[in-house]
Amino acid sequence: MKRKRFSVRAYAALVRLYPRQFRDEYGADMAQLFCDQCNDDPPWRVCARSALDLAITIPHQHLETRMRRIPTPLVPLFYLALAAAGLLLVIVGGTDSATLTVGLGIALAAGTVGIVAWRRAAPMHTANVSAGWWKFLAAGPCLIALVIVAAGMGVEAWFLGIVTVLFAIVLIVTGLVLGGMHLLRTATAT
């Protein structure tokens, strides 16, 4: 019970990060919805969903307040830049396990939030982006094969090889995620 009360208070405090006009209009309803969701679901699950939502919507609402136009690509681009900074930390960090862990954590979390923000910012009438999932899935192993062939031919560009393999892994994961989305979209369409 204490954990739930703490979660509700923490969420209410985080709602204060929204712009004043948005907070005045929706803040009380958002806090009440969070409290109701905590009654229905485990608080950790509600907190995880809410954290993702807050990470996307707070910057978006601040940009909307200033720009007064329909969704902007700046929020997904911000998280993409943060993910790139995490990968750069991994590359520069060398073999230090703490630096690698922090860098990969930042890259993974920011990349995930960036993808979700990008999907939420897209208009509903856009083309089915997930239909090309197989291109990403195929590109990853092709890049890895290219690195293996180059290493077999005596090319000693290990840094470029590591970056290429990391990029290939990102492509494979992107292909798997888009493939799953495509599968869900086609299953719900029929």
CB atoms within 10 A of CB 183: 12
Q: Angle at the Cα of 28 (from 26 to 30), degrees rounded to 5?
A: 65
pLDDT of residue 83: 87
66-105: pLDDT as tens digits: 665 555 677 788 888 888 888 888 887 767 777 788 888 8
Task: Give the closest residue to 20 by CA, choosing from 58, 50, 53.
Answer: 58
Q: How confident is the model at residue 125 (pLDDT cuts 50, 70, 90)?
A: very low
pLDDT of residue 44: 83
pLDDT of residue 122: 60
Distance CA 137, CA 50 (A): 31
Q: What is the dihedral of CA 158, 159, 161, 164, to 10 degrees?
A: 170
Residue 175, pLDDT above cutoff 70 = yes
pLDDT of residue 38: 87
Average pLDDT, integer, range 174-184: 84
Average pLDDT, integer, range 49-67: 82
Contact indicator for 46, 38 with CB cutoff of 8 Å: yes
29-48: pLDDT as tens digits: 998 999 898 888 888 888 88
Q: For the chain, how big is the Rg over CA atoms in Å?
A: 20
140-159: pLDDT as tens digits: 898 889 888 888 888 777 77
